[in-house]
A and B are shown apart, each in its own frame.
Chain A
Amino acid sequence: MTTLSRKIKCGIEIHQMLDTQSKLFCSCPTKIRKDPPDFTFLRRLRLARSEIGEIDPAALFEFEKGLQFLYEGYNDSVCLVEMDEEPPHPTNMEALTIALKFALLVNARIIDEIHVMRKIVIDGSNTTGFQRTMLVAVGGSINVKGKEIPIETICLEEDAARKIDERKDQQTVIYRLDRLGIPLIEVATGPVIESPEEAREVAHYIGLLLRSLGKVKRGLGTIRQDLNISVEGGARVEVKGVQYLDLIPLVVENEVKRQVKLLEIRDELVARGLSVTDILFEPVDVSKYFEKTKSKVARSALEKGGVALALKLKGFKGILGKEIQPGRRFGTELADRARYWARVGGIFHSDELPGYGISEEEVKILSEVLSLGENDAFVLVFDEREKALKALEAVYKRVLEAFSGVPEETRAANTDGTTRFMRPRPGKARMYPETDIRPIVISSQLIEKLKGELPEPPEETLKRLKKHYGLSDVLAQQLFSSEYLFFFEELVQETGVQPVIAATLLTNTLKSLRREGVNVEVLEEEHIKKVLKAVAENKLAKEAIPEVLRALAENPESSVEDVIEKLSLRGLTLQELERLVDEIISERKQLIMEKKEKAFSPIMGIVMEKVRGKIDGKIVAEVVRKKITEAISS
């Protein structure tokens, strides 16, 4: 971790979806759906030019894209409120109570009179064009490994619609309204976190506290972590949408690495004697040199009437190909920007050429046409003229930013822990009161009452579980630092499986599967419950758990029963086992007569080969031993 020699500063924002009876501002159920929607409708959003022009580059951009939004709804779980066809109903008190309890758990100061606000968001994820949110409490703190972490704000807000698809050619983004309006608690820490591991620990502890309240949703997408990361000399970068805990340290590390590398690039540019004035925005139309190209991208763009535009970057040779995150180069940063601002498929840069079907000959011609010096580089884009031009403009702007190091921006977390450009940093949040909902006064009586209803601290839960279920120190500790402390107890109680088996699954098994590259995040709690139930009912051997989970993760749509059947992992009955052992022994009478009791281990080996994963090894051993004894004595 040499890249971490620079000081880092990180804050976390956690969004936890609540499992309330109904949504925050209407009486629809809080269910995420997979079945096809019942109806759709089309909308646009608008802000006046004068309002966005000066205030918010992100909002301005969404606006200028002229997008339309196709919303998908369900008759029985979306109503006119989510469609923005009816004013919101009064705030869901069940949700507010949960937020208030969390505030009390972290000793935050509850706001006396809570005002619902409208926060402008015009990417279409809210049908209204704003997200309703309320500040519930300020100034709390938690203690993580002896360090006090301030909890600056606790908000209660409505979740946004789910983005389903984007039809770029029709300028249409498709959203589904099932998620819109589900209550979220947003918890924001101060920027005091100093290492990737600490970031994970803080997020984990806040998650534990949230889950200890019950009534919070669990599973993929129900908790989302945003990270604000800056390294000394870098800039504040917000990384959105980290979906599980173990990704957090990786994201922090990769982002720190990126910022450090960008600072190195800045220094390298200075060392090369370059300045912003050396970079000129002079795109050159090089279409005619690609008339006979073998590059598919180039050919298809040109055949559609597009052009090839190239931009010379003086002194940038080697920099475009410099890796700044695993598998992502400085050129990737340029491509991200081009994709976002011009919606092109991508760009090519000279550090990766020849390649991708573009020949050495073609590169040579370009170098001549652009009169490239020994240290110069270029960027190449194939698309409609206007888009190509816009793409190069975005590239040019990003290249200029390289001279000052790290640009402030909002990035999205990739599943491998790297990050990609998402949008410019939004201006100051534009909020104004939600006039359709009355402010809510929180009485001291209510607060006193809630104080008596707080859950036990997670540390207590750990102690209790350890004692009650006889877990080892190591396993209990692993369970505590996983996301599943509370799920564990539910599992054991509902399935009747041995506690150790459940705990091992939730900690070691999931972790090693993830390490092997299995996307365990798609596994639902229901999957895990059914698998353990099968184990508890002797329909599945515990040894087969990893294999079943792996298959389920690969086909999350299939049922646990089907998977067990398909893998022919249906457990053997004792009778079937005995019959099998009888067969094997009778085929190997000779061996047993010769070796007597010592025949156990070869016979056991043969049997296990046939039944592994279908029945507990201990039982197999017992049967084999019994049958050998019988065979010898007969």
Chain B
Amino acid sequence: MEDSGYSPRVRELLESNSVKVFDLVSVQLKDGINLRGIILPRPSTGERDALVLKLENGYNVGILVDRIKEIRLEEEAHVKQEQILESTRKTLAKAKVHFIGTGGTIASRVDYATGAVYPYFTAEELYSMIPELEEIALIESETIFNIFSEDMTPSQWSQIARKIKQVFEQNAPAGVVVAHGTDTMHYSASAIAFAVQKAPGPIVFTGAQRSSDRPSSDASLNVIGATITAVDAPFAESVIVMHGSVNDDKLLVHRGVRARKMHTSRRDAFISINELPLASVDPYSKKLSLLTKEYKQKSNDLEVYPEFSEKVALVKFYPGMDPSIFEFYRDKGYHGLVIEGTGLGHVNSKLISVLGGLVKDGMVVVMASQCLWGSINMNVYRTGVELLRAGVLPAGNMLPETSYVKLSWVFGQTTEVEEAVKLFKKNIAFETSERNEYKFYPGAWWWQ
């Protein structure tokens, strides 16, 4: 009863009437009204002194303890075993796809009796909830952890990378699908792009912007698109598959290192930045259409470098920034810093000498742009030139988040500054490019 969410007063009332959560009861109120319903646990917020009943008409109501005259037990809760979904599986698909669960709301369903939402992730459950998968792939699945995506750290990236290695080695799937919360999906997808450099198939991240406990969820379509990509894509890269617009029609395949969550809630929140998406997927005809010719081929070798450093930071410059903030990182023993500067790659000129000091002290300092679109170019203005002279490394048209993940990965491989700089400059997973094409920027998309 302690975890029912109720205040001690409600718990006492329930105990003194010998009823408990999920019992069917009839509650007599002091003003003569009788309510019949199931006692629910309390939602995490609200009036803890209010007893929550699910009435027979389906509505939940909260009744204050003071108003209750009597509670009578009508029927004891029969503890319902969480029902295992049985698959109608008749798959003829030959390709194998391995699902890795990491948390997030991509897979859950509702128990309408109590309103509880249960996550699901076994292959049988996936087939049962998304029958279309039967035609696409032979699915196996496992959950390696269950956390909110904002709680991910570089150590989880390492775990995911090791798991992918193991899966390709032992199960030989056509591809891997990673179900992930959307908030930091592009960080994890970038991390895997650096960690898994050669693979026999694609690694596809997917998630949901609308929770899967609602009929309008984007989860199923995204999972279908991710599975098609895992089976059919010719590339062996770490990608993100999500809605391409607010329509439930085409999905887009973004390169993990180039994708960014650009909207708090829309289902087409992910956008490829500084390049076009790799492909689009029609989840109904189950066809994947490539939008580029440039990609990493599948490989029989598996090359995985799963180490990441936690001593790298991403810091956003703002006009009133205090220079001593940078020194904090040095004093805490950080190896590297990515600065999200303004425009072509600038910070307040008063910060330059501090940054120069960090470089002298052996830190790698990278400059990315908070503009997101376009390249860093520190030769145009004097501030830039001075930053270069101070030893700050330009990130080109690499996203700030990708630069951060890459630097974290770099220091997972080496602690030698020279080696680190060399590794950082190397284009590993199409995370940067020299050319910025007209069509890469939304200005070219919206008004056509």
Contacts and interface: CB of A to CB of B under 8 A. Distances in A.
Contacts of B159: none
A122 B217 CA distance: 12
Interface in A27-63: 41-51, 55
Give chain B's interface secondary structure class: loop
Interface in A97-130: 109, 111-115, 117-120, 122, 127-130
B154 to A, nearest CB: 30
A118 B217 CA distance: 14
Interface stretch (B42-50, B387-395, B419-427): B42-50
Interface stretch (B244-252, B254-262, B342-350, B406-414): B244-252
A547 to B, nearest CB: 49
A43 B266 contact: no
Contacts of A43: 216, 247-248
Contacts of B129: 48, 50
A594 interface: no
Interface residues of A, number: 51
A438 B45 CA distance: 7
B88 A49 contact: yes
B379 interface: no
Contact of B62 (A85, A129, A130, A441): A441
Contacts of A49: 88, 128, 131
A432 B112 contact: yes
A273 to B, nearest CB: 43
B59 interface: yes
Interface string A424-455: 00001111110100110100000000000000
A127 B128 CA distance: 24
Given A113-B50, A128-B216, A139-B33, A85 B267 contact: yes
B62 A433 contact: no
A37 to B, nearest CB: 14
Contacts of A432: 110-112, 115, 117, 213
B212 to A, nearest CB: 10
A245 interface: no
Contacts of B166: none
Given A41-B247, A128-B216, A84 B210 contact: yes
Contacts of A86: 264-266
Interface string A530-562: 000000000000000000000000000000000
Interface in B293-351: none
A138 interface: yes
A41 B216 contact: no
Given A111-B61, A438-B45, A130 B247 contact: no
Contacts of A114: 61-62
A16 B115 CA distance: 28
17 contacts: A44-B221, A48-B85, A50-B86, A51-B109, A85-B265, A111-B62, A112-B47, A114-B62, A115-B60, A115-B61, A127-B216, A133-B59, A429-B57, A431-B60, A433-B43, A441-B46, A441-B62
Interface of B: 29, 31, 33, 35, 43, 45-47, 50, 52, 55, 57-64, 67, 85-86, 88, 109-112, 115, 117, 128-131, 210, 213-217, 220-221, 245-249, 264-267
Given A128-B215, A432-B117, 20 more contacts: A48-B130, A49-B88, A49-B128, A85-B265, A87-B265, A112-B47, A112-B62, A113-B52, A120-B215, A122-B215, A133-B59, A135-B57, A135-B59, A138-B33, A153-B57, A430-B112, A432-B111, A432-B213, A439-B62, A441-B62
6 closest A-B pairs (Cβ-Cβ)?
A: A113-B62, A129-B215, A431-B58, A432-B115, A135-B59, A115-B60
